[in-house]
Amino acid sequence: MSKSHAKELSNVYEAIFRDATYAFPTLKAEFERDLARLKVLSVLRGIRVYLVDLPAVGKHLDRCLANGQYLPSGLPLTKRYTGGVVIPKFLRGLYLLVFEENGRLKDEYDVEAVVFLRQILYLVKKAPFACSPEDIENEVLEFYETDLSLPEPEGFWDKPAQSCSVVEETYHGYGKSHIYLDRIGTGDSLCGLSANRSSLDTLDKVAGIIATTLGSYEPLGWRFRHGPGAISEVSRPVNKFCWRGWSTRLGSVFPISEYGFYNLHSWGRSVATQATSSPTDPFFLLEGEEERASCQASRMVAVPKTFTKPRLIAAEPSEHQWCQQNIWHYFCQRSQVTWISSFVQFTDQTLNQDLCRRGSKDGSLATVDLSAASDRVTCHAIGQFYRSNPSLLAALSVTRTQYVTQNLTRKVPACVRLRKFSTMGNACTFPVESLLFLGIALAATLQSRNLSPTLQNIRSLEGEVAVFGDDIVIPVDSRELFVSLLEVLHFKINEAKSFWTGRFRESCGVDSFNGVEVTPIYWKGAYDGKPESLSRVTQTSNNFYQKFLLETAAHLESTLPTAWLPLVAMRSGVFGLQTRNEPENTHLTMRYNSGLQLVQCQVLQPIAVTRRTKTNDDSSLLQYFTEEPLRSQDWSHGYNERTLLKIKKRWVSLSDLAAQPDEMERELVLLHQKASAARTTLLQT
């Protein structure tokens, strides 16, 4: 981490404190001392003060808001002001607008003070700095320790697709599972034995309703395609339509002749060619343990998440990815046209966000977040949940990757057989776990309210339950039973990000306090001359501008090549720096386009450039049928090289830069003008 990073962070914080001073003029002296404390501590502890210490204080603040009481934490930057005052010295002025000196939440608190507290504390929480090798190693070790704590998958998950009778023999329901009944008997759960046993039966009935609502799964009814991510076989761009290891197990539901080629003639020609080619590079059908040594294993990759915690995902084999996307399409389409869409939207977080705001306002709803949710989804839980839909369960079984390889640490084996259902990277993980958590939430709510598990009673819970991955909103009165069921099914609650008391809630990127959104804006890196950073910093500057944090927006703007960036209206879709006033772009090169009869200006615009390398086999026809390009589209077959973002100059109409504002934006313009006048008066005094 270079000194330039620390310097830029210091400059951003100076701008944030200037914005805070405009919002709270009487705290100017306090903010000057706070900024000085922050700079001194950053010299002593380094950049971790910004990236680790401040976000940790922010998490403590959220919990205090939810509890209605500020309590000492012992964290850096939280030393008490005096012995009799629990409020810390750092940001004392803002804290005292929210809490009493004894820590109790004020009846008449200042919500804007809450906004600025969280903005200062969380500003660089998501800064894109790479984790240390030690942090990556610790995360990998935790990944494998979590996996080892789960029960072994049944033999059903190791074999080709089984008949309905095998499913019935293997899975009898949650309430009859010895794995879960034994866990209830240990007394680790929050609720009593009888409540858990009956709630498992309720969960089984709810799961049956959800699984049968989806309908029988037939691969031909849904779209095959490749995902945008990497595949496990290679780390470089490669033709994903050229198969390298279509296993017997996968072929039992997805025959390669039907789903891997555009017609049987293409498949037969490939088989004939394969018979005469080298056996070291086949698209052969694998048997048994050969899968472990072949390309039928996912590849673990660490990607940035926070400064101390990477995100582990797994690149899937291309054949598995191809079929997983077909199942993903089935989940999306079937849930969208049924009652399930009232509880889960796989591509839209609005349900969770709206209920999050409502829960923070009236306190009736809790937001629950899980710890390493996808790493704790067991095959046993999935088998019990989808046992009434055997065709879907068979497809989930054969597309599940059984092994994962890694080269991130030598403290665990390079190749391990997984116990969990799947990893992040499997296209089925998100919809499968979302519906599982929905079933648990519905069962817990019905059971806690003594309602029978019928479709009518389930639908009566619309507007009280919502799920998006491991972000869950449930009624407060069913939270304890919900948590108990999760623990029985091997899941673990993330206490730091789950809220059910007070007026603070957090879900799907929305932080809400008493119905008011207090979500901070995240600084995600400085401008370094690269196209990606230009796009990122411009967007961040616009985000601060939209929240009227004008000093911070102006600072970020000052780091950009503004000579070529246009000023654009708030509703304009053109890339540029947003303004609530009439955009004035006299600094740009202008011309009159006689052909279009309009005035244009030359601006910088980010453009994604992708080079496609053509292939020399007939997989191009399968690619054409898969991508379904428009007749007017300039399409070519082949595989994409890495997409690069480039900045190019192009001519844009002035009218596109100045989109007409709606009524709400006009009101914001007036508010902006009043705020500017007030700032000018403040500076003069």
Do residue 121 and residue 239 come from a single domain? no
For residue 151, tell me if it sits in a domain.
no
Give me the phi and psi of 319, to 5 degrees please: -65, -40
What is the pLDDT at residue 162? Answer: 81
Q: Are residues 446 and 544 in the same domain?
A: no
Judge if 439 and 490 occupy the same domain. yes
Tokens of 567: 């000023």
What's the confidence (pLDDT) of residue 281? 44
| Arithmetic mean of pLDDT, 71-77 | 91
Residue with more model confidence, 598 or 672: 598
Task: Please give the pLDDT value at position 228.
Answer: 82
Strand partners, 639: 613
Classify residue 202: in a domain, yes or no: no
**465-484 pLDDT, tens per residue?**
999 999 999 999 999 999 99
For residues 305 and 447, membership in a common domain is answered with: yes
Q: Are residues 539 and 504 in the same domain?
A: no
pLDDT at position 334, please? 95
pLDDT at 293 over 60: no
If asked whether residues 484 and 629 sit together in one domain, one would say: no
Amino acid occupying residue 446 = L
Dihedrals phi, psi of 631, to nearest 5 degrees: -65, -30
The confidence score (pLDDT) of residue 186 equals 61
pLDDT at 333 over 90: yes
pLDDT at site 294 = 46
| Confidence grade of residue 195 (pLDDT, cut at 50, 70, 90) | low
> Cβ neighbours of residue 615 under 8 Å, at least 6 residues apart?
239, 241, 242, 637, 638, 639
Alpha-carbon distance of 354 to 358, in angstroms, equals: 6
The answer to whether residue 414 sits within a structural domain is yes
Across the range 610-619, mean pLDDT stands at: 84
Q: Is the residue at 465 inside a domain? A: yes
Same domain membership, residue 341 and residue 422: yes
Question: CA nearest 544: which of 563, 522, 529?
Answer: 522
For residues 453 and 322, membership in a common domain is answered with yes
Structural domain boundaries enclosing 589: 531-684
Summarize the confidence of residues 244-267 as an average pLDDT.
91
Task: Indicate if 452 and 303 belong to the same structural domain.
Answer: yes
Residue 82, pLDDT > 80, answer: no
Average pLDDT over residues 629-636: 85
CB-based burial, 275-296: b 16+ in 10 Å, e otherwise = eeeeeeebebebeeeebeebbb
**Distance linking the first and last C-alpha atoms of the chain:** 41
Total domains, the chain: 3
Instruction: Verify that 224 and 120 share a domain, yes or no.
Output: no
Is 451 within the bounds of a domain?
yes
Tell me the per-residue pLDDT of 433-464, one tens digit each, with 9 for 90 and over. Answer: 999 999 999 999 999 999 999 999 999 999 99
Phi-psi map region of 234: left, alpha, beta (phi>0 left; psi -120 to 50 alpha): beta
Residue type, 116: F
SS (H, E, C) 105-166: ECCCCCHHHHHHHHHHHHCCCCCCCCCCHHHHHHHHHHHHHHHHCCCCCCHHHCCCCCCHHH
SS3 sequence, 407-427?
CCCCCCCCEEECCECCCECEC
Per-residue model confidence as pLDDT tens digits over 365-385: 999 999 999 999 999 999 999
Q: What is the tens place of the pLDDT at every residue in 498-552?
A: 999 999 999 999 999 999 999 999 999 899 888 999 999 999 999 999 999 999 9
pLDDT for position 609: 84
- Would you say residue 665 lies in a domain? yes
**Strand 504-507 vs strand 510-513: parallel, antiparallel, or unpaired?**
antiparallel
Residue 596 has pLDDT above 90, yes or no: no
Q: In terms of Cα–Cα distance, which of 387, 423, 402, 372 is closest to 152?
A: 402
How confident is residue 287, by pLDDT bands cut at 50, 70 and 90? very low
Say if 428 falls within a structural domain. Answer: yes
Across residues 347-351, what is the average pLDDT?
94
**616 vs 420, residue with greater confidence:** 420
- Say whether pLDDT at 674 is over 70: no
For residues 364 and 645, which has the higher predicted lDDT (pLDDT)? 364
Task: Give residue 234's pLDDT band: very low, low, confident or very high (50, 70, 90).
Answer: confident
| Res. 46: pLDDT tops 60 | yes
Output the pLDDT for position 290: 44
Same domain, yes or no: 456 and 353: yes
Average pLDDT, the chain: 89
Three state DSSP letters for 464-490? CCEEECCEEEEEHHHHHHHHHHHHHCC
Residues 120 and 264 in one domain: no
Look at residue 284 and tell me whether its pLDDT is greater than 70.
Answer: no
pLDDT digits (tens, 9 = 90+) for 414-427: 999 999 999 998 99
Q: Which of 69, 95, 125 is the last residue of a domain?
A: 125
Among 98, 125, 152, give the residue marking a domain's end.
Answer: 125
Selected residue with higher pLDDT from 639 and 402: 402
The first and second tokens of residue 107, run together, are 């009846």
Task: Answer with the one of 125, 143, 174 that is the final residue of a domain.
Answer: 125
- Identify which has the larger pLDDT, 592 or 684: 592
Residue 172 lies in a domain: no
Tokens of 275: 């018979």
